[in-house]
Amino acid sequence: MARTAALGAPAERREGLEKVTGTARYAAEHPLPGRVHARAVPACVARGRITGMDTGPARAVPGVLTVLTHENAPRLAEPEDATLALLQDSEVPHRGWCVALVVAETPEAARAAAAAVRITYDTADHDVVLTPGHPSTHEPEEANGGQPTRCRRGDPESAFAAAPVRVDVTYRTPPLHNHPMEPHASTAHWDRGRLTVHTSSQGTGDVRRVLAGLFALPVDRITVRAEHVGGGFGSKGSPRPDVVLAAMAARYTGRPVTLAYPRRHLPTVVGHRAPTLSRLRLGATADGRLTALLHDVTTHTSPVRSFVEVAGTTSGVMYATPNLSFVHHVVPLDVPSPSWMRAPGEATGMYALESAMDELAGELGMDPVELRIRNEPDREPAGGLPFSSRHLVECLREGARRFGWPRGARRAEGPLLIGTGVAAATYPVMVSPCTATAEARPDGTYLIRVNASDIGTGARTVLAQIAADALGTPLDRVRTEIGDSDLPEAPVAGGSSGTASWGWAVHEACARLLDRLAGHTGPLPERGIGVRADTSGRADAGSTHARHAFGAHFAEVAVDTVTGEVRVRRLLGVYAAGHILNSRTARSQFVGGMTMGLGMALTEGSTVDAAFGDFAEADLASYHIPVHADVPDIEAHWIDEDDPYLNPMGSKGIGEIGVVGTPAAIGNAVHHATGARLRTLPLTPDRVLTALTER
């Protein structure tokens, strides 16, 4: 059958009209009859035990139905993820931990009552500040996603000591918050032993599985829906307390319950990007060939659930060197549990590596683009496998051509210093098993069903394109159903793997459907003809190749020598990520990632308050995500790659790589502009002014 032009086309988002007209419904927007509102009460001590709980004044607030505490809340089975063991005991592992839940007729009553709950604590000493050489520092057994914590090739220490040119520097990144525009929210409803939940999640299948465990229910008695999700960036990649608390409150009160987290609650309950200390040692020959690369990472985790930001791993992917080492260390602190935030590990680690590479280029007197090209490996340095495809050099060259590179000397415009910088980016190819069904209808249309999640990526659109392409039918003949756990099981929208995983199953279902239809004669039956595909065993099979996307980022900044403010004037990214399946939504994802990277570089930073154990920057007035005025015209381009080792669409993930190289490109541009090397993010005016003074 002829291929259509669907794949790669700039198809408009299928749910676009609902979103721009305000009719798209998000998790808190399902006003079931009798629906009431829940509000969590966060612990206001950094560590300790609840010794007394007076809920009388809260229960006396007009409109309050109940106050749940560890003394009366429904018992839950022990969860795999201990951050979901909510209201089960009197322990307070960190500030912000949920210690009570108010349920009331209105949000106003719930808020007033939450403030009226009186709690006494037996407090314990707490320790929340990550410091180099902290006595609890240790090497964990594994890092995020079961990845190895260390890698060692050759004799890196000796090679570094013997290298004619050396860089030995430490970079720091602060805790960062995902802050999707839709705060985490869930609406739960029990009906005759069946639980239905609308939740803001990147994967409703996981939510259903976890709820089934906690409430000791078979999964077929639970339906979890997430038709529209107002962003996630990793923080909605696993069930968060809102969905458990809403289900608990709904079961206890017999009413549908919505829990929509207030913005200020999010930092302590939905995970954060853990702070990192990265020591980079780079040794090179005088002509710029790396002889040693050592990346030592220290990060923090919580006592509740271990999570280790894998900031060193990408250092085993990027550059040819016979002597390589990365190792992760973690310090358990009395902090809220860190988790995934867009490119977890890649963003923090590549900030350090790509900044250190810029420093090495400076030591060598070499152009930083040229240095990277000179160290292009022919195999993945850490694993030794050949790359399935790798076009980093092409990205650098194409970016250089478009951006205007080699750069000249820095310029001055009055009090402004203008400079440019470059950094490389990478993100691994991940893919998981998935199921999907494809159905041909007698009216000539097709129905694709798969429990994918559209968190703003355009999943339902690109899946329709994949189906249309596989079926050889016009795009408008294909309907997609996603975002509902009753649909064929599918993995989470995370790890930039959603489109690859779901699309593979959709593609396969469509291919099978064509086979089935080829053997069918006469008109289709009323109910249509449907087939199912399951990619288990193939999507998760190991590869003979190292599979990664690559990219190059270029930035131009203006640094105000009077105020210390850094403004980005231009930002350009070139990516090599297999075939791009929808040029319109892909561009938006790349640009969105770069915007988050701009925030990481310049405006975003959180601080764990040593005295109170809280995040000091808990709301959007103090935690500065980039606004319109911060963001210039951003260009995203790509190089099409033909890679047979990926999936039937030939695509790599694109949701996260945009954030990966951007902070280093901006930091390197600040160095070019000012001559000052700042090694702690974000590059806020106070830090920049101090650096300019010390220059």
Q: Which stretch binds other proteins (CB under 8 A): 343-351, 497-505, 592-600, 605-613?
A: 592-600
In whole angstroms, the minimum distance from the beta carbon of 442 to other proteins comes to: 31
Q: Which is nearer to other proteins, 94 or 228 (CB)?
A: 228
Structure tokens, 235: 């923080």
Contact between 23 and other proteins by CB under 8 A: the answer reads: yes
Contact between 106 and other proteins by CB under 8 A: the answer reads: yes
Binding to other proteins by CB under 8 A, coded x per residue (else -) over 264-303, reads x---------------------------------------
Give residue 665's Cα distance to chain centre.
20
In whole angstroms, the minimum distance from the beta carbon of 693 to other proteins comes to: 28
> Which runs of E-coded beta strand occur in 27-97?
36-42, 48-54, 64-68, 91-92
Q: Which is nearer to other proteins, 87 or 109 (CB)?
A: 109
In whole angstroms, the minimum distance from the beta carbon of 242 to other proteins comes to: 14
Q: Which stretch binds other proteins (CB under 8 A): 90-98, 122-130, 362-370, 613-621?
A: 613-621
- Could you say which residues in the range 427-456 bind other proteins, by CB under 8 A? 455-456
Q: At what angle do helices 459-471 and 498-518 cross, to 10 degrees?
A: 30
Angstrom distance (rounded) from CA 148 to CA 144:
9
Three-state DSSP state, 4: coil
Contact between 51 and other proteins by CB under 8 A: the answer reads: no
Is-contact 316 326, C-beta < 8 A? yes
Angstrom distance (rounded) from CA 351 to CA 666:
10
For strands 222-225 and 194-199, give the pairing.
parallel
Contact between 565 and other proteins by CB under 8 A: the answer reads: no
In whole angstroms, the minimum distance from the beta carbon of 425 to other proteins comes to: 16
Contact between 26 and other proteins by CB under 8 A: the answer reads: yes
Binding to other proteins by CB under 8 A, coded x per residue (else -) over 147-176, reads ------------------------------
Among 83, 457, 497, 668, binds other proteins (CB under 8 A): 457
Among 443, 611, 629, 693, binds other proteins (CB under 8 A): 629
The single residue listed with the structure tokens 């403010």 is 565
In whole angstroms, the minimum distance from the beta carbon of 655 to other proteins comes to: 10
Contact between 34 and other proteins by CB under 8 A: the answer reads: no
Taking CA atoms, 170 is separated from 87, 276, 661, in Å, by: 41, 10, 17
In whole angstroms, the minimum distance from the beta carbon of 224 to other proteins comes to: 18
Is-contact 476 514, C-beta < 8 A? no
Contact between 587 and other proteins by CB under 8 A: the answer reads: yes
Angstrom distance (rounded) from CA 380 to CA 13:
37
Three-state DSSP state, 51: strand
Among 28, 43, 371, 601, binds other proteins (CB under 8 A): 28
Among 4, 8, 9, 12, binds other proteins (CB under 8 A): 12
Among 2, 22, 413, 521, binds other proteins (CB under 8 A): 22
Angstrom distance (rounded) from CA 362 to CA 659:
24
- How many other β-carbons are positioned within 10 Å of the β-carbon of residue 77? 11
Among 19, 75, 402, 411, binds other proteins (CB under 8 A): 19
Contact between 60 and other proteins by CB under 8 A: the answer reads: yes
Active site residues: 656
In whole angstroms, the minimum distance from the beta carbon of 569 to other proteins comes to: 12
Q: Which is nearer to other proteins, 467 or 568 (CB)?
A: 568
The single residue listed with the structure tokens 């695509």 is 651
Is-contact 371 361, C-beta < 8 A? yes
Contact between 621 and other proteins by CB under 8 A: the answer reads: yes
Contact between 8 and other proteins by CB under 8 A: the answer reads: no
In whole angstroms, the minimum distance from the beta carbon of 104 to other proteins comes to: 11
- 37 beta partners: 104, 258
CA angle 391, 397, 399 (to 5 degrees): 100
Angstrom distance (rounded) from CA 607 to CA 131:
13
Whether the bond between 164 and the residue before it is cis, its omega within 30 degrees of 0, is no
Q: Which of 275, 308, 345, 297 is nearest to 615 (CA)?
A: 275
Q: Which is nearer to other proteins, 378 or 633 (CB)?
A: 633
Among 57, 148, 303, 675, binds other proteins (CB under 8 A): 57
Among 474, 627, 640, 690, binds other proteins (CB under 8 A): 627
Structure tokens, 618: 């808990």
Q: Which is nearer to other proteins, 109 or 468 (CB)?
A: 109
- Could you say which residues in the range 649-678 bind other proteins, by CB under 8 A? none
Number of residues engaging other proteins in binding (CB under 8 A): 69
Angstrom distance (rounded) from CA 429 to CA 356:
25
Is-contact 292 321, C-beta < 8 A? yes
Dihedral sign from CA coordinates of 71, 72, 76, 81 = negative
Contact between 66 and other proteins by CB under 8 A: the answer reads: no
DSSP 329-396: EEEE-SSPPP---SSTTHHHHHHHHHHHHHHHHHHHT--HHHHHHHT--SS-TTT-PPBS---HHHHH
Among 38, 41, 182, 493, binds other proteins (CB under 8 A): 182
Angstrom distance (rounded) from CA 671 to CA 685:
14
Angstrom distance (rounded) from CA 614 to CA 361:
40
- 273 beta partners: 176
Structure tokens, 225: 């829906």
In whole angstroms, the minimum distance from the beta carbon of 638 to other proteins comes to: 16
Angstrom distance (rounded) from CA 39 to CA 369:
52
Contact between 691 and other proteins by CB under 8 A: the answer reads: no
Contact between 363 and other proteins by CB under 8 A: the answer reads: no
- How many other β-carbons are positioned within 10 Å of the β-carbon of residue 299? 28
In whole angstroms, the minimum distance from the beta carbon of 175 to other proteins comes to: 17
Q: Binding residues for other proteins, per CB under 8 A?
A: 12-13, 15-26, 28-29, 31, 57, 60-63, 106-109, 112, 116, 179-183, 228-231, 233, 260, 262-264, 455-458, 584-585, 587-589, 591-596, 619-621, 625-629, 631-634
